[in-house]
Chain A
């Protein structure tokens, strides 16, 4: 499927317009985004395509992985990554020094996804409100939590897939892509406080799912 551009925004979602050229706020905010990406040579008038190649190609696997989780389908993920690259290439001239390239690319991908049919459907059905960060911090632990150490990869994958989309993406960017909070905030166009809150809730939910599934498996094992 192709990811047609629309101006529709998913209900309740804090994302902006899909088109990279319209992301003026994002570019204005770049000055507080930390160091320039590795290999970036600092072209004030825009990124050159040879620099783009050096910066974008190492991101291909991470972008595809993220796209695959978002779309749940290999063909859609493939189209999404290609569309992302097309948009990024188109927006090269307006790329500014100091921009966090990785966050920029993930942001384009995610905004493109949101304007796809799958993205719109998913966002409209799977949103979850966030509580405050402090309320959701684990303030005690139970012996069952050590079960997570024994959870196999497939089980954790299934549990990640069960998370609401807004929790899933923040978790993937923070823990899989190992982005800092401010990078996740830039990629998702949400405040850092919301990143922290969503992350804490996402981990809490994931923990619940893992323990639930492991408990179910244990019970099934005893019954068998």
Chain B
């Protein structure tokens, strides 16, 4: 004869019972072989489906395409605009637009280039996030990773000691942006991956740490000693110290 609780086992396994019933079931199951066995079967099957059903990951280029799609679709929406503003908005907007265009003309080229570079770096970071082999040199030791770049890049850089900090070096690889070779270092900050890109700068000008958001990622940029650094991560502030550490070890 079947146990009266047997029909509730699926609900219990799916965590769909209210607290009182859940407690009643939890007290009953250990003493009932039929319910224990049925619960084990339910949990085995659920686990098998969870593992086997999660079979596919979005390809990296789809990630990048969706980022762009979201940003292209960003159109400001105005609501509740009063009637007088509707009348004067067109000429005011035209004048403002003309002023903005005139003021921004000398900088348009470099801004476009910077945006294009950032788009490339974000793509590479996304590839690192989704790849099973995100780096070419796999090592937690800076003394292994840094020498790996010797002869591959026409410049060198220093990596900080991360032992005893919340960061872990995963490795590095050669990367290309703007048709120029650069270094990509991959770190872990807790569960977050952090990509650090190091390229030769176009000038010797020093630029301080500058944090901003790009396609939902937190980016940090600075320039020192003829090198340009970009740090990309989805972590919030956890990676800030890593940027400072990199900056310190690369001071002249």
Contact = CB atoms under 8 A, between A and B. Distances in A.
Interface of A: 45-46, 49-50, 52-54, 56-57, 60-61, 63-65, 68-69, 74, 77-78, 81-82, 85-86, 89-90, 93, 134, 137-141, 145-146, 148-149, 151, 153-154, 156-157, 160, 171-172, 174-176, 178, 180-181, 196, 199-200, 203, 206-207, 210
A206 B63 contact: no
A36 B37 CA distance: 37
A68 B56 contact: yes
Given A46-B77, A57-B66, A69-B55, 19 more contacts: A50-B74, A52-B70, A60-B63, A61-B58, A63-B58, A81-B62, A85-B66, A85-B70, A86-B69, A137-B10, A139-B2, A141-B37, A156-B52, A157-B52, A160-B53, A176-B54, A178-B50, A206-B49, A207-B45
B136 interface: no
Contacts of B57: 61, 64-65
Interface in B46-76: 46, 48-59, 62-63, 65-67, 69-70, 73-74
A170 to B, nearest CB: 11
A146 B45 CA distance: 10
Query: What are the nearest 9 A-B pairs in CB distance?
Result: A176-B53, A156-B52, A64-B58, A68-B56, A175-B49, A89-B73, A153-B52, A49-B74, A65-B56
Contact of A89 (B9, B34, B48, B69): B69
13 contacts: A49-B73, A57-B216, A64-B56, A82-B66, A85-B69, A86-B73, A138-B38, A141-B38, A145-B41, A153-B52, A157-B53, A171-B53, A176-B49
Given A82-B65, A93-B77, A200-B10, A53 B70 contact: yes
B115 interface: no
B112 interface: no
B133 interface: no
Contacts of B65: 82
A157 B55 CA distance: 8
A139 B6 contact: yes
Contact of A49 (B46, B50, B62, B70): B70
A89 B70 CA distance: 7
Nearest to B79: A45
A139 B73 contact: no
State the main secondary structure of chain A at its contact with B: helix
Contacts of A78: 58-59, 62
A207 B41 CA distance: 10
Contacts, number: 136
Contacts of B18: none
State the main secondary structure of chain B at its contact with A: helix
B163 interface: no
Contacts of B56: 64-65, 68-69, 74, 77
Interface of B: 2, 6-7, 9-10, 14-16, 34, 37-38, 41-42, 44-46, 48-59, 62-63, 65-67, 69-70, 73-74, 77, 79, 216
Nearest to B77: A93
Nearest to B37: A141
Contacts of A140: 2, 34
Contacts of A93: 77
A65 B74 CA distance: 26
A160 B16 CA distance: 23
* Among A77, A138, A180, A207, residue most surrounded by chain B Cβ atoms (within 10 Å): A138
A60 B46 CA distance: 23
Given A49-B70, A49-B73, A139-B6, A151 B216 contact: no
A63 B45 CA distance: 22
A203 B6 contact: no
Contacts of B38: 138-139, 141
B70 A56 contact: yes
B128 to A, nearest CB: 15
A65 B66 contact: no
Contacts of B48: 148-149, 151, 153, 156, 210
A82 B65 CA distance: 8
